[in-house]
Amino acid sequence: MNEQPPQRVRVTGPPRRRADVVRTPGTREIDAETALGEVFMRSLLREQLALAARVLVALGLTVGLLPVLFHLVPSLGDVRVGPVPLAWLLLGALTYPWLVLLGWFYVRRAEHNERDFADLVGSVAPDERP
């Protein structure tokens, strides 16, 4: 008795048609890698780089200088806040909320920059090209 398993049937939904994507003139400029598209991309990259630099400077001036502060003022190593040494409190407890706050600020501003960029690119009319 050579019984064959039933034939497999492929079940699919109705065919999906991809909606025609309406490309704004600004996005076409970027996709075509024209001079105007390059200016758009450079402006976004410059904004994002400046934001990253500001966040890194804030991090460096706060968390990065703590070891220097404790090295220059050794008596701070003896300071206690309750039973906890100040150094542990600053480096072990307060640093992490500060990092979360900086991360939240960075993401919020980066998304804001991207929204502004999308608005700028979407508002370019074909007759505004140089």
For 40-68, what is each residue's pLDDT tens digit?
Answer: 788 888 999 999 999 999 999 998 888 88
Domain containing residue 104: 25-128
Is residue 4 one of the residues assigned to a domain? Answer: no
Q: Scanning the structure block, which residue is given the tokens 């991090």?
A: 59
Does the residue 17 lie in any domain? no
For residue 98, is it within any domain? yes
Average the pLDDT over each of 14-23, 60-69, 97-106 and give the range with the smallest value.
14-23
> Worst-scoring range by mean pLDDT, 7-21, 40-54, 63-77, 97-111?
7-21
- Establish if 14 belongs to a structural domain: no
Q: Are 8 and 108 in contact (CB under 8 A)?
A: no
Q: Does any domain span residue 63?
A: yes
| Number of domains the chain is built from | 1
DSSP 33: T
117 belongs to a structural domain: yes
pTM: predicted TM-score of the whole model, two decimal places: 0.66
The 3-class secondary structure across 28-72, one letter per residue, is: HHHHCCCHHHHHHHHHHHHHHHHHHHHHHHHHHHHCCCHHHHHHH
pLDDT of residue 129: 47
- Cα three-residue angle 35-37-38, rounded to 5 degrees: 65
**79 in any annotated domain:** yes
Q: Tell me the sheet residues that pair with 52.
A: none
